[in-house]
Structure 1
Amino acid sequence: MFSHLLKPIWKRKFKNLLLSLEILLAFFVVFGLVLMSVRYTQLYHLPLGFASDNVWSVRMMSVGEAGKKNDTATAENFQRSLAALPEIERLAYFNYSPYSNSTWSSAVYMPETKLRFKINVMEMTDDGPGVLNMKLLEGRWFSAEDEGKAERAVVINKKLAMEMFPGKSALGQTIYDGEPSSQGAQLLRVTGVFEAFRNKGEFMAPTSFAIMRHSINSSKDRMEFALLKVKPGTSRAFEAKLNQQLKLIRNDWSYRIAPLADMRRAKLTEDTIPLMILAVMAAFLLIMVAFGLFGVLWQNTTQRIPEIGLRRAVGASSGDIYRQIMSEQLLLSSIAMLVGLIFLIQLPLTGVLGEAANWPVFIVACLISMAVIYVISLLCSLYPAWRASRLSPTEALHYE
């Protein structure tokens, strides 16, 4: 049966070349869209590491270089004044806010081997984990007991712990923030390990992450963000009251206030825009390919009317003709996609796209893309196959 289908395809190889190229193009387009969608889905279901419910972000923007330096009295004044508001349950300072598109990249080193590990870093005060409802896998969060110690407290995620300390616990280990031989290198002590922290939201790829303790008493730089844990049901009307309270503390500063839930929705929309644009472009391209595929199939079927008449004359039924046209199209689609897979399999093998094309994502994307192409091919071949199967032997043999 396979050779019976393959021989007619091979005899018309030049005519089928255009058809194969259209199928191959459609396969590449569908694969790109599906790969991106599957990767987004995979990322969305990974642990985020924090909760944004009932948390508000306040960005405190000062004027001049003096406002960027840590002022213990000002920080404590903000903390006391905001904590006095009945709507606020908890407050912590951060160097940047989740969902703010900010990233602080750095590198840490092993003291003995001086191996370098690239990481993302966030600084927060002791109440930060409680504000964001963060959970530890082992160890403890930094606290007031770490104040004044020579080794700065740091909590790292599981990914970084496995990279730096494979096969052993990371708790109590010391690492350098900066090259050990450099003057500004700081010794860090790992106090805990958490699962993950993806500060840019659900579509951020997991990274090696470290959270360092910020002290309003001894740190040099001021934290620009304050995250407030508010009572459930607090409305946006609280924003005016909060801004008024902030102005009473420092009237010369400007403030940008937003619930993390709103920032999350805006970030999700921003991240999905490229996918939606690609989906629209892919839809238009697939429609064009489908019309082209339908036209080529109709033309090929019309040119084969004498062949179809001969088959009907020697006893083939209309169902046999119908199945032959459909089977040939499926076989041609399979050959085109097999060629495409030879090229696409290089993505996970070479790692050119990194984790965006990991094996689970690649396999699922291939299966879905192949299913879509098979459906398009079948739909485009339904009418030409039906027209061919309706031809009578006499009509087909007299066709000119």
Structure 2
Amino acid sequence: MLKHLFKLIWNKKKENFLLISEILISFMVIFAVFTLLVHNYRNYKIPRGFDYEQVWSVSLGELSGSKDKDSVMLMHKNLRNTLKSLPLIKDLTLSSSNVPFSNSMYRTTVSYKGKEAHTDIFHGEISYEEVLRVQLLSGRWFSEDDNAAAKRNIVINELTQERLFGSGAALGKIISMGGEDLKVIGVAKDFKDQGDFKAPTPAIFLRIDTSNIRDASTILIRVGAGADATFEGKVYKLIASTVKSSNLEIKHLSDLRKNKNKETTIPMMIFFIVAGFLIFNVALGIFGVLWYNINKRRGEIGLRRAIGATASSVSGQLVGEAMVLATFSLIIGSFFAIQFPLLNVFDLPASVYLTAQFLATVFIYLLVVVCAFYPGKQAAAIYPAVVLHEE
């Protein structure tokens, strides 16, 4: 029966060319949709590596006054003591401006024995780990003991360890950054700071000290559960009275996360709407063609019923023909889809493309079955006597 259906469709390939083309285009669009969905879902399932809840980012902006190190350190010390006197502030840390979910980014290159990794670089104090609750896999975070270290200490994440050391241990190794030797003292979980749908990247963490404290333009504050808008206003006034800044600003990391996620979800929703309209039109096309074929083949169907064909066999033939049409389209579409992992298009894992191809194939078959079910049922309801009388 299946061989007969393939032969029947192949003999009418010119008549079915338009429908095959519609299903092919629909498959490629669905393949793109599922590729996007699978990729974003995989990224969403990756652990974040830190805790953003109840954390505020205070941008100090352009500070006026002396740029002397001692003056800057005294200013930060006074600000820290003032803020810590508030009961709802649990902890705080100076940080570089590239806080999680911000649009700021610092990049650098680190190397080890000829291997290089292009990484994000985050600066923070000893309390940075506690404020963001960075999750360490091995080693330790920065401490006061690092002040006497011969080399600057550094904490790296999993991806950086993989790029530089493969499956080997990273603790105690000396890596190079801009001609400076740094000692790895800890390995943290991957730091997914660009939103829920963005994969983490290689990253390193450096401690803020007297050599780079003038570049610390942001304060991260972990607050208690009762911190509201009134308390935020109080914090703003305290900071404004302590430092002289032209554009002081307080943001919540939870709000920054929502805004960062919108950069992915809004274009994705627009793409899904456009794809949905296309699929709906293709479904109407399949339904209309099958409906037209039934009316065109009423004589054939009535004759088959008259010589003993059951209603289920007539309905099954029409659904089977639609499935064979879909198969022709999917064979062609799969040829193009398989090129994406082979050519490493968009630098995505091959498993993403293969999963998307499987889901798109299942979706197309389900779509064709749904569209063919009602016309097939109508064909099975044709009475042989009525059709033969019309003929």
**TM-score after normalising by structure 1:** 0.91
Describe the shift of the 1:149–1:234 C-alpha distance in structure 2 as closer, same or farther (beyond 3 A): same
Deviations 1:311-332 (A, max 9, x none): 2233212221101001111122
Match of 1:349 in 2: 342
Residue 329 of structure 2 corresponds to: 336
Please tell me the residue identity of whatever aligns with 1:136: L
Q: Which residue of 2 aligns with 1:161?
A: 161
Three-state SS of the structure 2 residue aligned to 1:189 is: strand
Partner in structure 1 of residue 145 of structure 2:
145
> How far apart are residue 388 of structure 1 and its match?
1.9
The answer (yes or no) to whether the contact 2:294–2:379 under 8 Å persists in 1 is yes
Count of residues paired in the alignment: 389
Tell me, in whole angstroms, the C-alpha distance in 2 between the residues paired with 1:202 and 1:66: 40
1:360 aligns to 2:351 (yes or no): yes
Counterpart position of 1:201: 195
Matches within 5 A, 1:226-375: 226-355=219-348, 358-375=349-366
Q: SS at the partner of 2:91? A: strand
Q: Specify the alignment match of 1:29 in structure 2.
A: 29
Q: Is the 8 A contact 2:61 2:245 kept in 1?
A: no
Unaligned runs of 5+ in 2: none
Q: How many percent identity over aligned positions?
A: 34
Asked if 1 retains the 8 angstrom alpha-carbon contact of 2:51 and 2:132, the reply is yes
Q: Which residue of 2 aligns with 1:104?
A: 106
1:352-382 alpha-carbon deviations (Å, 9 max, x no partner): 1223xx2433333223222222222122212
Q: How far has the Cα of 1:156 moved from its partner?
A: 0.7
Gaps of 5+ in 1: 179-184
Contact 2:27 2:333 (C-alpha < 8 Å) held by counterparts: yes
Partner residue in 2 for 1:182 = none
- Structure 2: distance between partners of 1:246 and 1:51: 24
Residue 109 of structure 1 deviates from its aligned partner by 1.7
Paired letter, 1:127: S
State the superposition RMSD in angstroms.
2.1
Give the aligned residue type for 1:51.
Answer: D
Question: Could you tell me how far apart the structure 2 residues matched to 1:189 and 1:45 are?
Answer: 31
| Amino acid in structure 2 at the alignment position of 1:72 | M
Q: For 2:65 and 2:15, how far apart are their aligned partners in 1? A: 72
- Taking the aligned partners of 2:180 and 2:100, their CA distance within structure 1 comes to 25
- Report what 1:181 is aligned to: none
Q: Check the 8 A contact 1:71/1:222 in 2, yes or no.
A: no
From the superposition, tell whether residues 12 and 394 of structure 1 become closer, same or farther in structure 2 (CA, over 3 Å): farther
The answer to whether the Cα contact below 8 Å between 1:62 and 1:68 also exists between their aligned partners in 2 is: no
Cα pair 1:68 1:222 within 8 Å, conserved: no
TM-score (norm. length: structure 2)? 0.93
- 1:390 positional shift: 2.1
Instruction: Sort the Cα spacing of 1:145 and 1:370 in 2 relative to 1 into closer, same or farther, 3 A.
Output: same
1:380 corresponds, among 367, 371, 387, to 371
**Deviation readout 1:185-221 (Å, 9 max, x if unpaired):** 2211111011210111211112111111111x23264
Query: Following superposition of structure 1 onto structure 2, how do residues 114-153 of structure 1 map, counting pairs within 5 Å?
Result: 114-147=114-147, 149-153=149-153
The one-letter amino acid paired with 2:3 is S
360-369 vs 1-10, which deviates more? 360-369
Letter of the 2:4 partner, please give it. H
Cα gap change, 1:51/1:364 in structure 2, threshold over 3 Å: closer, same or farther? same
Identify which range, 261-270 or 190-199, moves more after superposition: 261-270
Q: Is the 8 A contact 1:247 1:253 kept in 2?
A: no
Q: Residue 10 of structure 1 corresponds to which residue in structure 2?
A: 10
Residues 252, 262 of structure 1: alpha-carbon distance in 2 compared, 3 angstrom cutoff: closer
CA offset at residue 308 of structure 1? 2.1
